[in-house]
């Protein structure tokens, strides 16, 4: 089955509100396919909000709404009511800041998405779980204890397990909201490695507060400030030669 949606994300003049507070103002950007895009900016500038727009996770927050503007993924306006949100979220996976494996076995965690979509053929499940764990660079560490609790894993392993869980349903886009902020540098490096390995097949958008990480893994970087997109350009250019004073101040750490 070919993906219903391709994965180029086009955001046009997006305004977003939580109740009466504006979280995103006139954001327009095009996230290209099969590249790594980093979102950076001070806390509360709307990075997570924009990320959650891409898989409509904001639907789950009462009072949260897109007031104007549009988001197209692969040419389809994902804001329209007729969009199958379950299918959208299968195409657009998400990894959270706080790793959140279910208190079940490692296998069950990775198989969760597949079982959700009614795949119960045992050999198919086994194969998909193995593939996902290999892609998430976790297979060698857990292959002998697939049926032990996921909570026995270390923090870094748990986060890679969550990545494997998203990978198992073969998404074309993966959104990562500060995936490494709770990890030690070595565990974070492993996550970065796997992003680098998978970038040929999957579009990554990664929110990070770690400038070195953004510089290391991303092709493009978007800098946000107070709900506005200040600058969006190739990472090399943004870091070496920022076009905007705010970006420069933020990168130098002399903000405000």
Ligand X SMILES: Nc1ncnc2c1ncn2[C@@H]1O[C@H](COP(=O)(O)OP(=O)(O)O)[C@@H](O)[C@H]1O
Binding letters toward another protein, positions 29-48, x by CB under 8 A:
--------------------
Binding residue count for Mg ion, defined by CB under 5 A:
1
Name residues whose C-beta falls within 8 Å of residue 188's C-beta, 6 or more positions apart in sequence: 156, 180, 210, 213
Least Cβ distance, residue 66 to ligand X (angstroms): 13
In the block, which residue shows the tokens 């030690």?
A: 184
| Contacts of Mg ion in 91-150 (CB under 5 A) | none
Binding residue count for ligand X, defined by CB under 6 A:
12
If one asks whether residue 48 binds Mg ion (CB under 5 A), the answer comes out as yes
If one asks whether residue 191 binds ligand X (CB under 6 A), the answer comes out as no
| Shorter beta-carbon distance to another protein: residue 6 or 97 | 97
Binding letters toward another protein, positions 102-121, x by CB under 8 A:
xx--------xx--xx----
Q: Determine contact, residues 222/208, Cβ cutoff 8 Å.
A: no
| Shorter beta-carbon distance to ligand X: residue 46 or 171 | 46
Stretch that binds another protein, among 5-13, 86-94, 236-244, 245-253 (CB under 8 A): 86-94
| Shorter beta-carbon distance to another protein: residue 157 or 166 | 166
Handedness of CA 213, 219, 225, 228 (dihedral sign): negative
In the block, which residue shows the tokens 């996921």?
A: 150
If one asks whether residue 98 binds ligand X (CB under 6 A), the answer comes out as no
Token readout for 191 is 């996550």
Binding letters toward ligand X, positions 44-73, x by CB under 6 A:
xxxxxx-----------x------------
Stretch that binds ligand X, among 17-25, 69-77, 102-110, 159-167 (CB under 6 A): 17-25
Which residues lie near another protein (CB under 8 A)? 55, 57, 60, 62, 85-90, 93-94, 96, 98, 100-103, 112-113, 116-117, 151, 162, 165-166, 169
Which residues lie near ligand X (CB under 6 A)? 18, 21, 23, 41, 43-49, 61
């Amino acid at each position: 089955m070919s993906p219903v949606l391709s994965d180029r994300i086009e955001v046009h003049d997006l305004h977003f509100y939580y109740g009466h507070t504006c979280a995103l103002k006139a954001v327009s950007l095009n996230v290209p396919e099969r590249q790594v895009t980093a979102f950076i900016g001070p806390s509360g500038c709307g990075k997570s909000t924009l990320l959650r727009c891409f898989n409509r996770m904001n639907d789950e927050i009462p009072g949260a709404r897109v007031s104007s503007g549009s988001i197209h993924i692969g040419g389809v306006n994902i804001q329209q009511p007729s969009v199958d949100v379950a299918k959208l979220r299968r195409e657009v996976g998400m990894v959270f800041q706080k790793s959140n494996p279910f208190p079940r076995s490692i296998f069950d965690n990775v198989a969760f998405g597949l079982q959700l979509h009614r795949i119960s053929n045992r050999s198919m499940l086994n194969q998909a779980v193995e593939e996902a764990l290999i892609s998430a660079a976790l297979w060698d560490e857990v292959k002998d204890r697939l049926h032990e609790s996921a909570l026995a894993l270390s923090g870094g392993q748990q986060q890679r397990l969550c990545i494997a869980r998203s990978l198992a349903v073969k998404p074309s886009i993966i959104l990562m909201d500060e995936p490494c902020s709770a990890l030690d540098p070595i565990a974070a490096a492993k996550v970065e490695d796997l992003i680098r390995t998978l970038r040929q097949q999957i579009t990554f958008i990664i929110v990070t507060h770690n400038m070195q990480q953004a510089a290391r893994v991303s092709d493009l970087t978007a800098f946000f400030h107070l709900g506005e997109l200040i600058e969006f350009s190739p990472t090399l250019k943004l870091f070496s030669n920022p076009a905007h004073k705010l970006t420069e101040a933020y990168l130098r750490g002399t903000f405000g």
